[in-house]
Every structure is written in structure tokens, then in C-alpha cells.
């Protein structure tokens, strides 16, 4: 229910404001608006306000503003001066541009509110944990590595470093400059272009390393889980399983996941005293495989976390500046991704659709208001940039048509526009199919 509500709120807010941008500028330019709809399909709610019918429709994948337009049917003589297609190309460009720009401006506002009220938490690009086997472990990454650049692109935080590596996995010999724990500057090389491992990372975003460290102490015990039934408690230090010493939490996870249904003897420490207990991991299905689970979570390494995290609260002016920089960064990142996708240098597995958006909406809402607000801002940036792509049926395609018309002094032929529309519809249909396929495999595969 949380996921559904968070997703619906996100769509209503982002789509409504996008279309409101079109609506406001259309009215400003003297164009008559017949309908303002959030959602597609037959409206289940509508009301008339002046010349405009305001609607809510059941398919929450977008919305539209319907204006008087002679290309869509007969128009009364009195309405001809207010028809969209009778306006100067500059006016039409302004109307079309208003939607995406509203999304980008909304993202700046949302980030500014988040930063000024909740503060900014910067996670430094330092490696805290490396799982094995993984792309990171095979490239030689070690706990304590401080990432300085990716393919000579300087990175300032963990999110930048992660995005730079994931989006460049299809490049041969991706070079990551790091400074090791003992101060040496070395280059870690990731060379997995075209492999299944690269496709798996594109779907999950996980390279096999994290910026945080986990201790071997239990931080969370799930009620009525195997660990709770075995008597394990928060704060217990896990030392060994069946006499085999556990060097870190990751070793514990690997043993448990590989021991579904098996009876294990766990040695632990509590209040300075060692003890043993018997535990039998539950068998659960994860990504098509049966794995063991006992219902415990690790206690983070607070000392390391204090080093890797930097939290501060800027004033509103500084928050606005940071918000604008964040939005510009995501705009350039998104455009670079689409460029790489077009050149075959990025995997289609990086594309997400509404199911993933709904899943992330629910998770961020559960984490708190700030996470959810920043999620809305990020999706708003994506929506704005996507709509500016020069693809017919999108706002960017219309912008291209009207810009060419302004330069030529006359519109493109009807045949060219119709072929462009067919191409745009086919491209968007294929994109949606890929997005839904990725969503399904990511969430249920």
C-alpha cells in the first residue's frame, strides 16, 4: 500500500506540474485549452472550469493538455485566432518547452528544500567493503581504497564514482584511479565489456563494493526468525560456524546463504563471554536460487562511518546553488547515458520503467520524507530530459519541427511529419517494452 500510494503521488505531482507548465504558457500565449488530463484513458473524474475540462484518467503513465488545433478537426471561426497551430513558431516552442522546464525547475526546488531543511549528507568515494566474487574484487579493489577518478574524470562522492563506473562498463579497460589505505596511488582496471557480469551490474547497479563497513556484531534480530529462536541477540559478536573462524560479516553471510536447511553450530561472544548455539537457516528463493537466511543484520562500523560521511546544513541560498548544481549534474549524466546508448556503448539493461519507479518510490517513502523528496526530484529531472529528446511524439520532437519551420518560413511537409510520428511511436514503444522487460527481470527474475 505504501508503494502504491508513493507511486501515485509521484505520478500525480510530476505529471500535473509538467502539464501545468504547458497549460500556463498556452494560456499566456492566447491559446485556448480544451482539456487538462492527468493520466490516459477514459476519465473517471472531470469538471469544467471556463473553457477547460479538467480530468483524472486511470492509466497513470502520463497526461496531456488538449488545445484548439485545426489539424485535429473542425474549429469554429471564432476560435481560429486561439488555435495552437495558427500561432507563430516561437509561441509554439515556448508552450512545448514549458513542460520539461517546469520539471527541471521543480527538481531544483525539491532539492533546495531537502538540502536546507534536512541537510546534505555527502558520502566520500572510499571503499569500505568488497564482496567476492565480484567485478570489484577481480579488479583488485581493497577496503580502504579512496577513489579519485574514473577514466580521468574526477569524482567527489560515492554516487558520482558509482555512476561513472556503471555507465562506462561497456568501455574497454575502464581505469579507476585510487589511493590505497597506505597512501599509494594505483590504477584499478575493470575490463568486463560485453560480459554477463556487466549486464548483471547494469540491472542491479552493484559492482561488489560498498562505502560502509560492517562489524561482525549483530545490529538487528528479526523476531521469530531462526537467529532469534537460537537465542542470538543484538550486540552479539559472531566468531565461528562449525569451528571455522569468521574474519568478517561477509564471511558469515556466505556461510549462511550456502547452508539452507542445514544445522550449524555458531560460536558467539556476549558481554565478554563466549558461548555456542545451534541454528538452522531457513530456505528461501532468491534470484532463482535457494539460499539460506537466519534473520539478522550487521552493526555498522560507526568509526568508519564517521570518516566516510559528511553531513551539514547549508543556508537557503547555498542550498539553491547546490540544488542547481545537482540538477545540472543529473542532466549531463542522463544525456551522456542516452548518447552512449545510441552509440552502443551502454547496456539497455540500465533502462528502468514504471515498476522500478514504483518500487523505489515505496522504498524511499519508507526511509523518510527527505529520501522521498529527493527521489521525486531525480525522477522529475529524468522526465524533463526525456521529454526534450528530439523524438517525434515527445516535446523535443515538436521543438525540432517548430524550430525547422521557423528557419524555413514554412512547416515540414505532412508526409515528413507523419513518417516522423511513426518513427517516434515505434521508438517509444520499443523503449517501453525494454523498460518493462528490465523491470520484470529486475524485480521478479
With respect to residue 147, please indicate whether it lies within any of the assigned structural domains.
yes
Last residue of a domain, one of 181, 210, 239: 210
Residue 176 falls inside a structural domain: yes
Judged against a pLDDT cut of 90, whether residue 340 lies above it is answered with: no
* Residue 107, C-alpha cell as written in the block: 527538481
Q: How confident is the model at residue 288 (pLDDT cuts 50, 70, 90)?
A: low
Same domain for 12 and 111: yes
344 has a pLDDT exceeding 80:
no
Q: Pull the grid cell for residue 356.
A: 522500478
6-15, 339-348, 349-358 — most confident range: 6-15
Does the structure show a pLDDT above 90 at 92?
A: yes
Region of residue 62 (phi > 0: left; psi between -120 and 50: alpha; otherwise: beta):
left
- Say whether 19 is catalytic: yes
Average of per-residue pLDDT across 235-249: 90
Q: How far apart are CA 343 and CA 383, in angstroms?
A: 22
Same domain flag for 381 and 410: yes
Instruction: Please report which confidence band the pLDDT of residue 441 belongs to, taking 50, 70 and 90 as the band edges.
Output: confident
Considering the domain architecture, whether residues 267 and 194 belong to the same structural domain is answered as no
Q: Is the pLDDT of residue 267 over 90?
A: yes
Per mean pLDDT, which range of 18-22, 104-108, 121-125, 432-436 is the poorest? 432-436
Percent of the chain, pLDDT > 70? 97
pLDDT number for residue 8: 82
199 lies in a domain?
A: yes
370 lies in a domain? no
| DSSP result, 215-270 | EEEEEEE-TTSHHHHTT--TTPEEEEETTEE--SHHHHHHHHHT-TT--EEEEEEE
Q: What pTM was computed for the model? A: 0.77
Band of residue 89 on the pLDDT scale cut at 50, 70, 90: very high
**pLDDT tens digits, 120-133:** 988 999 999 888 78
User: Are 111 and 140 members of one domain?
Assistant: no
Q: How confident is the model at residue 270 (pLDDT cuts 50, 70, 90)?
A: very high
Tally of domains in the chain: 3
From 177, 210, 243, give the residue that closes a domain: 210
What percentage of the chain exceeds 90 in pLDDT?
A: 43
Domain stops at, among 298, 320, 344: 298
In the set 19, 222, 269, 374, the catalytic residue is 19
Question: In this structure, are 200 and 221 located in the same domain?
Answer: no
Residue 78: inside a domain: no
Q: Same domain for 21 and 94?
A: yes
In a domain, 15, yes or no: yes
Residues 143 and 202 in one domain: yes
Q: Is residue 158 part of a domain?
A: yes
Please give the average per-residue pLDDT across 321-327, as a whole number.
Answer: 93
pLDDT at residue 319 is higher than 80: yes
Residue 204 in any domain: the answer is: yes
Q: What is the pLDDT of residue 418?
A: 86
CB 443 within 8 A of CB 203: no
97 and 165 fall within a common domain: no
Task: Write out the residue range of the structural domain in which residue 159 sits.
Answer: 129-210
| Residue 445 pLDDT | 57
Q: What are phi and psi of 176, to 5 degrees?
A: -115, 115
φ and ψ of 301, to 5 deg = -80, 100
CATH code for position 293: 2.30.42.10
Peptide bond into 133 cis (omega under 30): yes
Q: How far is Cα 404 from Cα 90, in angstroms, rounded to an integer?
A: 11
Q: Residues 185, 230: one domain?
A: no
- How high is the mean pLDDT of the chain? 88
d(CA 398, CA 417): 10
Phi, psi of 27 (to 5 degrees): -65, -40
Overall average pLDDT of the 230-254 stretch: 90
Straight-line distance from the first to the last Cα atom of the chain, in angstroms, rounded to the nearest whole number: 22
Residue 202 and residue 221 in one domain: no
What is the dihedral sign for C-alpha 245, 248, 249, 253? negative
pLDDT in tens, 26-70: 999 999 999 999 888 888 999 999 889 999 888 877 788 999 999
One domain for residues 146 and 192: yes
Identify whether residues 199 and 108 lie together within a single domain. Answer: no
Answer whether residue 79 shows pLDDT above 70: yes
pLDDT digits (tens, 9 = 90+) for 144-184: 999 999 988 898 889 889 888 888 777 678 899 999 988 89
Least reliable range by pLDDT among 195-204, 296-305, 321-330: 195-204
Q: Tell whether the model's pLDDT for residue 204 goes beyond 80.
A: no
Amino acid at each position: 500500500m505504501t508503494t502504491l500510494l508513493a507511486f501515485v503521488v509521484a505520478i500525480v505531482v510530476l505529471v500535473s506540474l509538467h502539464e501545468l507548465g504547458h497549460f500556463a504558457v498556452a494560456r499566456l500565449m492566447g491559446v485556448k485549452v480544451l482539456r487538462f488530463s492527468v493520466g490516459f484513458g477514459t476519465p473517471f473524474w472531470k469538471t469544467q472550469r471556463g473553457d477547460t475540462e479538467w480530468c483524472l484518467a486511470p492509466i497513470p503513465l502520463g497526461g496531456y493538455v488538449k488545445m484548439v488545433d485545426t489539424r485535429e478537426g473542425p474549429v469554429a471561426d471564432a476560435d481560429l485566432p486561439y488555435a495552437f497551430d495558427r500561432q507563430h513558431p516561437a509561441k509554439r516552442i515556448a508552450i512545448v518547452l514549458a513542460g520539461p522546464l517546469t520539471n527541471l525547475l521543480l527538481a531544483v526546488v525539491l532539492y533546495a528544500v531537502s538540502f536546507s531543511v534536512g541537510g546534505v549528507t555527502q558520502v566520500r568515494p572510499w571503499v569500505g567493503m568488497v564482496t567476492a566474487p565480484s567485478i570489484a574484487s577481480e579488479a583488485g579493489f581493497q577496503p580502504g581504497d579512496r577513489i579519485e577518478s574514473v577514466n580521468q574524470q574526477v569524482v567527489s562522492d560515492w554516487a558520482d564514482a558509482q555512476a561513472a563506473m556503471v555507465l562506462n562498463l561497456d568501455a574497454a579497460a575502464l581505469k579507476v584511479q585510487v589511493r590505497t589505505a597506505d597512501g599509494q596511488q594505483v590504477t584499478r582496471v575493470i575490463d568486463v565489456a560485453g560480459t554477463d557480469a556487466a549486464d548483471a551490474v547494469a540491472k542491479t547497479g552493484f559492482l561488489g563494493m560498498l562505502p560502509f563497513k560492517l562489524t561482525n556484531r549483530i545490529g538487528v534480530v528479526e523476531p521469530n526468525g531462526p537467529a532469534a529462536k537460537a537465542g542470538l541477540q543484538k550486540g552479539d559478536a559472531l566468531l565461528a560456524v562449525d569451528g571455522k573462524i569468521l574474519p568478517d560479516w561477509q564471511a558469515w553471510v556466505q556461510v549462511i546463504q550456502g547452508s539452507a536447511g542445514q544445522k550449524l553450530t555458531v560460536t558467539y561472544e556476549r558481554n565478554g563471554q563466549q558461548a555456542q548455539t545451534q541454528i538452522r537457516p531457513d530456505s528461501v528463493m532468491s534470484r532463482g536460487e535457494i539460499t539460506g537466511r537466519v534473520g539478522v543484520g550487521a552493526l555498522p562500523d560507526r568509526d568508519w562511518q564517521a570518516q566516510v560521511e559528511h553531513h551539514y546544513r547549508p543556508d537557503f541560498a547555498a542550498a539553491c546553488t547546490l540544488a542547481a548544481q545537482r540538477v545540472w549534474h543529473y542532466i549531463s549524466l542522463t544525456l551522456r547515458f542516452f548518447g552512449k546508448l545510441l552509440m552502443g556503448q551502454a547496456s539497455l539493461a540500465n533502462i528502468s520503467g514504471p515498476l522500478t519507479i514504483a518500487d523505489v518510490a515505496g522504498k524511499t517513502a519508507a526511509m523518510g520524507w527527505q529520501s522521498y523528496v529527493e527521489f521525486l526530484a531525480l525522477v522529475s529531472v529524468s522526465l524533463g530530459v526525456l521529454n526534450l529528446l528530439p523524438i517525434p511524439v515527445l516535446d523535443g520532437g515538436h521543438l525540432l519541427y517548430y524550430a525547422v519551420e521557423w528557419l524555413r518560413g514554412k512547416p515540414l511537409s505532412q508526409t515528413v511529419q507523419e513518417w516522423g510520428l511513426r518513427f517516434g511511436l515505434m521508438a517509444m514503444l520499443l523503449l517501453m517494452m525494454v523498460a518493462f522487460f528490465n523491470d520484470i527481470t529486475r524485480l521478479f527474475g
